[in-house]
A and B are shown apart, each in its own frame.
Chain A
Amino acid sequence: MDAPALRNLRRSPGAIVGACLLGAVGGASVASPWLAPQPPALVRVQDRLLVPLAVQDGTRHWLGTDALGRDVLSRLLVGARISLFVGLTAVAIGGTVGTAIGLVSGYYGGAVDRVMMRFGDMQLAFPFILLALAVMAVLGPGLGNIIGVLGLTSWVTYARVVRSEVLSVREREYVQSARAAGASVARILFVHALPNVIGTAIVVATFSVASTILAEAGLSFLGLGVGTATPTWGSMLADAREYMTDAWWLTTFPGLGILVTVLGVNLLGDWLRDYLDPRLR
């Protein structure tokens, strides 16, 4: 990030809060092997459902333990890694595929454009979570599957936004003259069109990280996400349902984790939109 961007960031209170929230979640997830008081999978049935702050055998369980006596804080930290990893990689896939399709579709127009856009319409006709649910039901739970599904179901937004930008960029004089000078299509797309649309794509991507994290949590909650072996915030909430009335901490903390992360992303996204592309407001 360049200096003017940082200066602008410091003037926006929302962006500062967002950066702090994300920084905390990101930092905690990176440092989770050192921060976690216990291995996240360590089962100690004799320590089941300990309340937050309880000390047992010299270990302080800051956020309590679950029904199998596993330390909630340790599992939350691993969950943060999964959420951020799925959110970022899925968006990278969807963003790359969608931007590429948008570039080609907008530049060539005609039949290619019509087919791609109609295909996008079809995909948008499904409520996103329903499509993801149906595909996950066929593929089965798994980290790779969920990243693939969430990535490939999100290309349409990028494709549409990038396409409309390319449509106008295509007619500008500098693109016309580059074409007249014999520049290849790849050169025109990557050197002349892409820099003009990348800001918009980044803004879409930021908000998409937020919705992807929410979708992953929802699918994991239904048991169709990463799978039961890995602790994720969604699956922790699914497990917590059974003990909801006895152990409020099992329901409260994973949800707070999701809320804080998504809120951080959205706050940063708001600022980024105003900074990079005020027209999207």
Chain B
Amino acid sequence: MNRLILMLALSLSAFCASADMVEHAQRERVAGIDVVTYHTEVKDVVVVVGALPAGDAFAGTGNAAVPTLTSMMLDRGTRNLDQFAIARQLESVGAEISFGAGPQSLEVRAKFLKKDLPLVIGLIADELRTPAFSAAEFNKAKQQFIGAVESSLQNTGARAQEAFSRAVFAPGDPNRPHTLEEFIAAAKVATLDEVKAFHAQNYGPAHFTLVVVGDVSMDTARTEIAKAFAGWTGGHDYLTSAPGAAPAGPNEIKIPLADKTSVSVLLGQATGLRHKDPDSLALQVGTAILGRGFTGRLMATVRDKEGLTYDIGAGIVDDTLVGGAWQLSASFAPSLLSKGVAASRRELQAWWQNGVTDKELSQRKRGIIGGYEVGLSTTGGLATTILSNLQRGYDLNWLDAYPKAVDALTVSQVNAAIKAHLDPSKMVLVEAGSLSAAK
């Protein structure tokens, strides 16, 4: 590797902040794949992020572990190359490719130097299209999957999130996860045939989005993607409907875990709102006033003034493809749990009841818009934002339209959205940790 080339990478950032970000982007369908390129000033570095509908939700009534196990088989060799040959090719040029299954998506991420685009695109295609599905590797993947999930059994944050999502999303909702115990049991009985069948039924270009950002042009990307993915067929759309609200259950869920010095707390409810729905942006900005950053009300009071927690905030999750959930998250020492939850509820109630002020909205809008610009100043940040926007149903123009939409929000819109989509009296409280020591 020529040292000089690498030093040029010091010319770092990705983003050209102008009112015309979209002018740096191109979007085409190539070999059936929705491809976006965004050329940046960063020298030599290219980032690829992509997603196709093959996440956990597509297990349906089948084995819950199969989508993730399928994703774990992708980098364990193909019909053309064994896993170590792939690793050698990537490592010899310092390139990285990784796959992971989320609630709905199989995601791919790659980072490499510009000259290695043909190699990396070729390997991504080979791994996605023709995994070897070796029986020996499958058994290792199962063991690793089970071990990783077992590790989460004692994690207060993971246990709280699992319980919360299962409480607010109805059975059949793509956002409703299986329990960790169900994942472990499913992995133990999963078969390689089930994985092969899942791959055949779900992997394909039909709703595959690939975003390529960095020192790259559409012409170059098109050539390599067309060559590597030629003739690939299959795939299907994401799940964009949900069965509606979860049936009413207990409004407090306690998950006792021994010998934990901190309790993870989640408080919230499903909103039914997708990110692109009309009220969503107003609710996001209103929520930021309550729970984002140090000037958010929760941090300013529950942490800064009262000293009850290290970390508290609020946000909206899982709203990319179907209606998501609003949640307040915090951690408290067992001895401060009651006080902390009471203080959190107090701030939530005041925010919900009285709304946000003109001054708060004005300051928060400025902060969100400024932060948006900063957040897009790396290749990875820009690529991730573009993919998220497309998955949420926006087109490329949203890159420029988003700050304007934030700026146009009024205080009455924000407060109306808070009242319309949230109700603290209907929220679910989840506590995970050593609760016998709680006060």
Question: Do A and B form a real pair?
Answer: no
Residues of chain B at the chain A interface (Cβ within 8 Å): none
